[in-house]
Amino acid sequence: MAILSREGNRLLRREASEQLWIEPWGKNALRVRATRQANMPQEDWALTEHPQDGNVEIHIDGQNASVRNGNITVTIGKGGYLVFRNQKGDLLLEEQWRTRAEGFTAVSALEVPGRELRPIKGGDYELFMRFEPNHGEKIFGMGQYQDGCLDKKGCVLELAHRNSQASVPFAISTKGYGFLWNNPAIGRVTFGSNLTEWHAHSTKALDYWICADDTPAGIAESYADVTGHSPMMPDYAMGFWQCKLRYRNQEELLAVAREHVGRGLPISVIVVDFFHWPYQGDWRFDEREFPDPEAMVRELKEMGIELMVSVWPFVDVKSENYAEMKEKGFLIRTERGVPYSMDFCGNTIAYDATNPQARDYVWSVIKKNYYNKGIRIFWLDEAEPEYHVYDFDNYRYHLGSDLQIGNVYPAMYAKNFYDGMVAEGQQNPLNLLRCAWAGSQRYGALVWSGDIDTTFRTLREQFAIGLSMSMAGIPWWTTDIGGFHGGDQNDPDYRELLIRWFQFGAFCPVFRLHGYRLNGEPSLIESKADTGGPNEVWSYGEEAYGILKHYLFLREEMRPYLERVMRQTHEHGAPVMRPLFYDFPQDAQAVASEDSYMFGPDLLVAPIMALGMRSRAVYLPNGSRWVDAHTGKVWDGGQTIEADAPLTTIPVFIREGADVSVKV
């Protein structure tokens, strides 16, 4: 028989070896934890320190109990299963039990419990958390998966990071709840038609957070309140970022910056990409190619340009820092085989960002070699970290095995640099990362979608990814405009792809051109990675240049609007780009739309994502009138129109009466 008790604002349930904790955690939200260990693990993971409890009500009646916090109530039945409802009594989520044990509503001979902590021989537990399906539900969020699916209902998702994949396990449902899987273990989630199942290969406890609200905006704000708000985006970051793989030396980079300024083109950030260092893990400029970094930074700042520098977490065995870091235990460890995890241009292993002492060591090197030279923004590449072989069971961190805690790595990588920059007095730090986990946004993480292909199919996938990341609570997102792998500057079809991607990029949180283009030149130093071809806006012919130039200036014209949108993000957790569902949850056609999005509250963007397309259908949500930013024509909402889209134009519509000026 279970024992139910109250401890402060927490409900405790103990039965056999399981202890279950349920407590308020933020407004209209509950945190649920369960373990079969002697003591409940104390890590908060993605969640910040315990916030204000709110108006909690706990009732215990024999073997039954309930906990209410604002809009959400959970009831605990006699058998221990949980049912969540909103303030109107509508069902949000219900654990799925298929057992004959007394007290369960669904009597079954299958003997499959809803919560299952299955012992691992000689170790901890394999975890399964099963919920009943919500038929007709749509699920938005979950991070970055190269599957093109905006609605994650029906998807099976690996809870693990890879190059171009970021598992951010927070989702918002059209049923009116948000759900965070607060567990950094490697695993899987299935949003099936017959069940929702969360799975962790190895863990010590079940831990999730759930909130209820009438609007997606309310859910997003509640989530930001308990996992952290993004800093305010710096003004320079709202402009255009110029990047390629890679500017080989100081003079080559400065020549591109001078050309931008000489042509009168807007530019805010330019990038020194990888292998500007002697060896991975040296974390410094190679003086053979960058002889005077201070002078480079100074000249760029005089032109109004910030310099972003690429940092990799890997340490080459030839690095000047390898021996010391290995001796002090600052590197990730392999359980078997050679002590390396990557062999790209050297035998390397990543530093252990989950180790506070390792973070201090890395920042001390970064501060000396970069920060003290005037660099205020970093490109934290390989943030998963990437493995040559993704054998997650072969790696161990300061905090535990990769299988148990590996997904937290990119958040700790971001925290490493964020904490160092804040300690130096820098306000609103921002750094570019290739990966994120829940809570990364509070460390100023701007995420991009990895080393992707150069096709229209890939562009369509990035559209879905950008919206999924935003709905997963990572509001700062960007992509390699034009894709990463390949792209022939002289190919007319590729030029069209680049133009369409550039137009989409102008309406992303960060506007950044990058890629490993064809027609490049070899590295001047044999031991280093090579360099791609030209990737400046004037590299694609006069027609393309004229169009790209227009969108550079359009982005500048949007700055006042962007500043307002970014402040909403900072203060309220509102995503910058979001599905139509976010702003129009009562409009069934808007909820179903998967080819347009809102950029802030007042701009509806309908990207062109197919070769040769010169018009497309656009649904204009009900409740507003919409101004065509190309023609000026005003349309009533609640209808689908055919929008013109010549090569020069991306269909954009302005909510009538909004204080924003855009001419596409």
Reply yes or no on whether the pLDDT at 107 is more than 80. Answer: no
End-to-end, the C-alpha distance of the chain in Å comes to 67
Q: CA geometry: angle at 198 spanning 381 and 158, to 5°?
A: 35
560-597 pLDDT per residue, tens: 999 999 999 999 999 999 999 999 999 999 999 999 99
Reply yes or no on whether the pLDDT at 105 is more than 70. Answer: no
534-543 pLDDT per residue, tens: 999 999 999 9
Look at domain 577-655 and name its CATH class.
mainly beta
Both tokens of 87, joined, read 């303030």
Mean pLDDT, residues 429-454: 98
73 Cβ contact partners less than 8 Å away, ≥ 6 residues apart: 66, 67, 84, 85, 86, 87
566-575 pLDDT per residue, tens: 999 999 999 9
Q: What does residue 583 show for φ and ψ, rounded to 5 degrees?
A: -90, -20
Mean pLDDT, residues 616-626: 97
* Catalytic residue check, 480: no
Question: What confidence tier does 106 reach under pLDDT thresholds 50, 70, 90?
Answer: low
Reply yes or no on whether the pLDDT at 103 is more than 70. Answer: no
Whole-Å CA distances, 446 to 232, 370, 406: 12, 20, 20
* Catalytic residue check, 90: no
Question: What confidence tier does 456 reach under pLDDT thresholds 50, 70, 90?
Answer: very high
Mean pLDDT, residues 92-103: 83
Candidates 94, 213, 381, 480; catalytic one:
381
**How many angstroms separate the CA atoms of 177 and 315, rounded?**
43
Question: What confidence tier does 529 reach under pLDDT thresholds 50, 70, 90?
Answer: confident
356 Cβ contact partners less than 8 Å away, ≥ 6 residues apart: none
Share of the chain above pLDDT 90, in %: 92
Nearest to 387 by CA among 160, 154, 120: 160
Same fold, 3-227 and 577-655: yes
Predicted pLDDT at 53: 60
Question: What confidence tier does 102 reach under pLDDT thresholds 50, 70, 90?
Answer: low
Both tokens of 538, joined, read 């004037």
Map residue 582 onto helix, strand or coil: helix
* Catalytic residue check, 384: yes
CATH of 3-227, one of 1.10.3720.10, 2.60.40.10, 2.60.40.1760, 3.30.420.40: 2.60.40.1760
Map residue 161 onto helix, strand or coil: coil
Candidates 44, 116, 451, 543; catalytic one:
451
Whole-Å CA distances, 89 to 72, 171, 311, 591: 9, 21, 50, 23
Q: Is 239-311+355-568 a domain of CATH 3.40.50.11540? A: no
Reply yes or no on whether the pLDDT at 616 is more than 90. Answer: yes
Share of the chain above pLDDT 70, in %: 98
**How many angstroms separate the CA atoms of 629 and 561, rounded?**
15
Predicted pLDDT at 101: 67
Whole-Å CA distances, 6 to 58, 210, 487, 500, 592: 8, 20, 62, 58, 43
Candidates 95, 213, 282, 384; catalytic one:
384
Predicted pLDDT at 108: 81
358-405 pLDDT per residue, tens: 999 999 999 999 999 999 999 999 999 999 999 999 999 999 999 999
Whole-Å CA distances, 283 to 7, 363, 388, 556, 617: 49, 10, 21, 34, 50
Whole-Å CA distances, 38 to 80, 135, 597: 19, 38, 48
- Domain chopping of the chain, boundaries: 3-227, 239-311+355-568, 577-655
